[in-house]
Chains A and B, each alone.
Chain A
Amino acid sequence: MRLKDKTNGLLNFSDYKKPRFHILYAVIIFLLILVVLTALLPVFWLIVSSFKSVQEINSTTFSFFPDVFDINKIWQVWQKENFGKYFFNSIIVTSGAVVCAVIFNGLMAYVISIVKPKGYKVMYVMIMISYMIPAITGMIPLFKWLSDINMTDNYLPLMLIFGANAFYFINFKNYFDMIPRSLFEAAKIDGCSDLKIFTHVVLPLSRPIVGVVAIFAMTGAWSDFLLPYLLLNDSDLYTIMVEIYQVQNTLGNGFTYDEFLMLLVISIIPQIIVFFIFQKQITSSASNAGIKE
Chain B
Amino acid sequence: MINLAYLENETEREKTASKYPVIKKHKTLFSSKNFSGWLLLLPGLILFGFFVWGPMVMNVIYSFFDGYSLKNFIGFDNYMYIFNDSMFQAALQNTFYYIFWSLLIGFFAPIIIGLLLSEVVLGKSFFRMIIYLPCIISGIAVAFLFKSLYDPEPYAIFNVILKSLGLPTSLFADDPSLAIPLIVVAMTWRGAGGTVLIYLSAIQTIDPSQYEAVRLDGGGLIRRIQYVTWPVLKPTISTLLIMQVISVFQVFYEPMIIGNSNIHSISMMLLSYNYAFSDGKPQLGAAVSVILSLIIIVFTGIYFAVTAYFKRRHDYAA
A residues near B (Cβ < 8 Å) are 1-3, 6-12, 14-15, 25, 28-29, 31-32, 35-36, 38-40, 42-43, 45-46, 49, 58-62, 64, 104-105, 107-108, 110-112, 115-120, 123, 126-127, 130, 132-145, 157, 160-161, 163-164, 166, 189-191, 193-195, 198, 219, 222-223, 225-226, 230, 241, 244-245, 248, 261, 264, 267-268, 271-272, 274-275, 279-280, 282-283, 286-288, 290-292
Cβ contact within 8 Å between A264 and B144? yes
Cβ contact within 8 Å between B246 and A141? no
Q: Interface 1/0s, chain B 61-74, versus A by CB < 8 A?
A: 01000001000000
Q: Most B CB atoms within 10 A — which of A49, A133, A136?
A: A133
Cβ contact within 8 Å between A117 and B34? yes
Q: Tell me the nearest residue of chain B to A8, going by C-beta.
A: B208
Cβ contact within 8 Å between B221 and A9? no
Given A130-B52, A134-B250: A115 in contact with B194 (beta carbons within 8 A): no
CA distance A59 to B59 in the complex (A): 49
CA distance A38 to B146 in the complex (A): 13
Residue from A108, A145, A226 within 8 A of B252 (CB atoms): A226
Cβ contact within 8 Å between B292 and A137? yes
A-B contact pairs, 30 of them (CB 8 A): A2-B121, A10-B225, A10-B229, A35-B116, A36-B127, A39-B133, A42-B134, A42-B145, A43-B133, A58-B155, A115-B37, A116-B37, A118-B34, A119-B34, A132-B300, A135-B51, A135-B52, A136-B250, A137-B292, A140-B55, A164-B47, A164-B51, A190-B18, A194-B40, A225-B138, A241-B141, A264-B144, A271-B138, A283-B125, A283-B129
Q: How far is the CB of A185 from chain B (nearest CB, A)?
A: 10
Cβ contact within 8 Å between B122 and A1? yes
Q: How many interface contacts (CB-CB < 8 Å) are there between A and B?
A: 295
Tell me if B276 counts as interface (CB < 8 A to partner A): yes
- Interface size class for chain B? 35 or more
Q: Most B CB atoms within 10 A — which of A25, A118, A160, A230?
A: A118
Q: Most B CB atoms within 10 A — which of A219, A222, A286?
A: A286
Tell me if B297 counts as interface (CB < 8 A to partner A): yes
Cβ contact within 8 Å between A245 and B140? yes
Residue from B14, B125, B138, B200 within 8 A of A191 (CB atoms): B14
Cβ contact within 8 Å between B211 and A140? no
* Residues of the A chain whose Cβ atoms lie less than 8 Å from the Cβ of B21: 189
Q: Tell me the nearest residue of chain A to B225, going by C-beta.
A: A10
Q: How far is the CB of A187 from chain B (nearest CB, A)?
A: 11
CA distance A38 to B131 in the complex (A): 9
Cβ contact within 8 Å between B118 and A144? no
Given A9-B119, A28-B119, A292-B247: A140 in contact with B136 (beta carbons within 8 A): no
CA distance A130 to B120 in the complex (A): 38
Cβ contact within 8 Å between B55 and A139? yes
Tell me if B50 counts as interface (CB < 8 A to partner A): yes
Q: Most A CB atoms within 10 A — which of B33, B51, B149?
A: B51
* Residues of the B chain whose Cβ atoms lie less than 8 Å from the Cβ of A61: 155
Cβ contact within 8 Å between B122 and A10? no
Cβ contact within 8 Å between B36 and A142? no
Cβ contact within 8 Å between B44 and A164? yes
Q: Tell me the nearest residue of chain A to B269, going by C-beta.
A: A136
* Residues of the A chain whose Cβ atoms lie less than 8 Å from the Cβ of B194: 286, 292
Q: Tell me the nearest residue of chain A to B252, going by C-beta.
A: A136
Tell me if B189 counts as interface (CB < 8 A to partner A): yes
Given A117-B37, A136-B269: A267 in contact with B119 (beta carbons within 8 A): no
Cβ contact within 8 Å between A223 and B140? yes
Given A62-B155, A133-B293, A288-B201: A104 in contact with B119 (beta carbons within 8 A): no
* Residues of the A chain whose Cβ atoms lie less than 8 Å from the Cβ of B269: 134, 136-137
Cβ contact within 8 Å between B41 and A290? no
Q: Interface 1/0s, chain B 189-207, versus A by CB < 8 A?
A: 1010111011011000000
CA distance A195 to B41 in the complex (A): 11
Cβ contact within 8 Å between A120 and B137? no
Cβ contact within 8 Å between B138 and A223? yes
Cβ contact within 8 Å between B50 and A267? no
CA distance A117 to B32 in the complex (A): 9
Q: Interface 1/0s, chain B 16-56, versus A by CB < 8 A?
A: 01100100001001000111111011011101101111111
* Residues of the B chain whose Cβ atoms lie less than 8 Å from the Cβ of A31: 116
Cβ contact within 8 Å between B145 and A264? yes
Q: How far is the CB of B131 from chain A (nearest CB, A)?
A: 6
Q: How far is the CB of A77 from chain B (nearest CB, A)?
A: 15
* Residues of the B chain whose Cβ atoms lie less than 8 Å from the Cβ of A160: 47, 51
* Residues of the A chain whose Cβ atoms lie less than 8 Å from the Cβ of B252: 136, 226
Q: How far is the CB of B156 from chain A (nearest CB, A)?
A: 8
CA distance A29 to B126 in the complex (A): 12
Given A14-B215, A123-B45, A134-B250: A283 in contact with B189 (beta carbons within 8 A): no
